[in-house]
Structure 1
């Protein structure tokens, strides 16, 4: 340890005498105590003595210093008394820093002695309120005037204010009777606002009461009296622009975020001429609901997407009117089980018409029930995938349901797949018609004519391999063997000069060639005439469009121009023999002497066999054991149970109600409401006019 320097040595020796012994410090004890402490050796006793005498902090500090010589203990007190040297110094410094100018006396304030006054009685809030209630109670009675004339313009506001004043009056009475605020307000709320939330209305009554006590009246009710401003979304042009964008967007991609971005970036700048303005999503949602859109699950229903397309509606209008003409010559059914037959009135020589509809449906081996009775925690494991399938193609009439005579049936089973029976095409349909259905119909309906109805699908509208289809032709001649797929039949046309021309689409030509040895070889080659050759033989080859541009095979437009000379393919396709070309099914049906019709696209509600498929699927699911063998052996039983005569006739009646409504109404949604009216009202005869007059366009 380093030696002490002179300063530290002096500090250490300041309490020593000449002999080097520490000197005791003499302390004068005040007269506050007359007791002797010479014999006191216990530090705790001396300290407690000072505490009991309420000695000052200075005395306590002195006692602690005196005890050092007696006990040899430290002079530091056991508890902090706030009298340390540093604390005292800091307090003096802070006191000296106070400027005299900051005192109130510097600004002219003079301390004045408070005069003795008599104490006033202090009232509680509740007592003050009761006094105020007594003062205004009679004034409130003048405002309780019932509304005698409710026909005036602001009668609703007056009635509402009357109920508010009545609530306040009831609240005041209950308060004067001794109830507290909560009890009185709830009592008034139950009496006058029993249909509302009692807690909320009680709070409102207290608020009204406080306002009345202060203002002696209530402020006018402001609900519904704000200025009525219309949004720019009410504009018809804005609506059409947004709805057009909605239809262009795929349903799975539609969202409020996408629509809002389109409105903010496109609609607002184009119609309002401003940028950086946005429309709230809640506002957009509100208007979408008004415009017919809804955020809901995608449930199966009438397919409105293409359902109201212009070309579909135009075809539907003509088709439904033809159907109504056919129905005048058909049987209809009435009675609880549709057992009563209502026969048509026919003229001499007229044949009775019978609707015969066709459709296909596929049944799967693993298509079981989705809803099951399961115990808590039970998990029924089903087979993955739909399993093997059976496709059913069936023809039905309303009088027999599935047409059958013993083992002769209009129902055909087909096992689709590459490794099975292949895929269902129009050729299978033609085979079913020619070999089964037409003969079976003639046997069941002697002397009647069938109206065959098919879905408007590509398979049902397919052309035979011999049909005149311009899309199968090229512009120039090309080699075409007999084994090629398409073999056009010969055609007969009448030219503009009256000449009748029999025209073939093929010709043979002898081609000669030389081998390596120079020998000449010849062979007959079969050629398929191109569009140019066919038109040249008819003296109808123009070679250019209306603008003088040379013809191409196809102009690329899906629609034919009004002049029909936009390209070679469209021009030949507009010729009578190509325009009048019938599909393969239509040729078979009409060659047998019956009527061929296609349902409008997206209008499955007009085909009653769709309802029959639903019942058959239900039967199959109820008895599904997830084996193809069981499905195959029980398929006829499922279909026969779902296709009872009474059910089929009810399905037929519902489909004809849709057809009848379409012949009178132009909008699909309007038709749905009309058919609901049919279901709600019973008619003795189907032939009665059931369409309301206000829905009739004619």
Structure 2
């Protein structure tokens, strides 16, 4: 009925030179003529994008060369023996071992359950809750050398539990990633100073966010402006967004971070004290002239 209702609109009829809509049977006939059939949608194989050209390029030309450059600083593990192998001969004397920590997270839902089980013949069917229910996310760092990132006595851990939702912990953001990474680095600096450490995150958008005052020419005005600046979400002491009356995060303007001139000198993007327009954004034209 969608196409029938769509063609009933006088504006659409005028655009296509029609005087009336088509009947439902006519629309169905043409759909079959064009190769469409009314049936249940099939479930196809999930595609995760690993074969995209940009992903392959990053994997082959950035990630793998970087991994090769540190490979001789890593412990090598035998398949049948959990103990360390001998120190690699390619590792120069005085070099430090490198421990690679992979960040990962999983979300669990209250209504997750097995759909198939042993059921007694006298057991009655019970109403089941709709939807997935409340969720909890677990995020942690793990390595082949030490398993999960925690202190030797297990009292300090880099794992976090996050309950998503407006009435719970909000929504997982880059600030939560930074907070967890800082927590992990504190543990490493306290208990694992004898090695170098690398954190590896997946390519999720949460992990790619720039700082709120990072350099960006997006929407940058050509001329000086008193009010222009990047928008930043206002947060409370617990780093949670403050919501406005419209139930949307409250935002404020922040100063963009300085740039850098060709000789390495910092380039403020705002007029300094003593200028007639002190505190104003300089504008793209002035920035390029400098």
Compute the TM-score of the two structures, normalised by the length of structure 1: 0.30
Q: State whether structure 2 residue 277 is matched by structure 1 residue 493.
A: no
- Please identify which structure carries the higher strand content: 2
* Aligned with 1:507 (options 248, 259, 271): 271
Which residue of 1 is the match for residue 185 of structure 2? 438
Which residue of 2 is the match for residue 329 of structure 1? 73
Which residue of 2 is the match for residue 531 of structure 1? 284
CA distance in 2, matches of 1:530, 1:471: 12
Contact in 2 for aligned 1:465/1:485 (Cα 8 Å): no
**1:394-422 superposed Cα distances (whole Å, 9 cap, x missing partner):** 11111221111232101011222112221
Partner of 1:323, secondary structure, is helix
CA distance in 2, matches of 1:324, 1:296: 42
The alpha carbon displacement at 1:348 in A equals: 2.0
Partner of 1:427, secondary structure, is helix
Which residue of 2 is the match for residue 365 of structure 1? 110
Which residue of 2 is the match for residue 99 of structure 1? none
* Aligned with 2:162 (options 414, 417, 428): 414
* Aligned with 2:54 (options 311, 324, 330): 311
Partner of 2:106, secondary structure, is strand
Higher Rg: 1
Partner of 2:211, secondary structure, is coil
Which residue of 1 is the match for residue 129 of structure 2? 383
Shift in alpha-carbon separation, 1:510–1:444, aligned structure 2, 3 A: closer
- Please identify which structure carries the higher helix content: 1
CA distance in 1, matches of 2:113, 2:59: 37
Which residue of 2 is the match for residue 424 of structure 1? 172
Partner of 1:394, secondary structure, is strand
Which residue of 2 is the match for residue 651 of structure 1? none
Partner of 2:165, secondary structure, is coil
Which residue of 1 is the match for residue 6 of structure 2? none
Q: State whether structure 2 residue 121 is matched by structure 1 residue 400.
A: no
CA distance in 1, matches of 2:66, 2:254: 34
CA distance in 1, matches of 2:57, 2:207: 20
The alpha carbon displacement at 1:504 in A equals: 0.4
The alpha carbon displacement at 1:500 in A equals: 5.5
Partner of 2:58, secondary structure, is helix
Q: State whether structure 2 residue 113 is matched by structure 1 residue 349.
A: no
Shift in alpha-carbon separation, 1:412–1:485, aligned structure 2, 3 A: farther
RMSD: 3.2
**1:106-146 superposed Cα distances (whole Å, 9 cap, x missing partner):** xxxxxxxxxxxxxxxxxxxxxxxxxxxxxxxxxxxxxxxxx
CA distance in 2, matches of 1:342, 1:474: 59
CA distance in 1, matches of 2:145, 2:162: 26
CA distance in 1, matches of 2:103, 2:195: 18
Q: State whether structure 2 residue 196 is matched by structure 1 residue 449.
A: yes
Contact in 1 for aligned 2:223/2:284 (Cα 8 Å): yes
Which residue of 2 is the match for residue 578 of structure 1? none
Shift in alpha-carbon separation, 1:501–1:403, aligned structure 2, 3 A: closer
Unpaired segments ≥5 residues, structure 1: 1-257, 263-294, 512-522, 538-698
1:243-322 equivalences in 2 (<5 Å): 297-298=43-44, 303=47, 306-318=49-61, 319-322=63-66
Q: State whether structure 2 residue 210 is matched by structure 1 residue 463.
A: yes
Contact in 2 for aligned 1:475/1:531 (Cα 8 Å): yes
Shift in alpha-carbon separation, 1:424–1:474, aligned structure 2, 3 A: farther
* Aligned with 1:475 (options 219, 222, 244): 222
Shift in alpha-carbon separation, 1:502–1:322, aligned structure 2, 3 A: closer
CA distance in 1, matches of 2:84, 2:74: 10
1:29-40 equivalences in 2 (<5 Å): none
**1:170-201 superposed Cα distances (whole Å, 9 cap, x missing partner):** xxxxxxxxxxxxxxxxxxxxxxxxxxxxxxxx
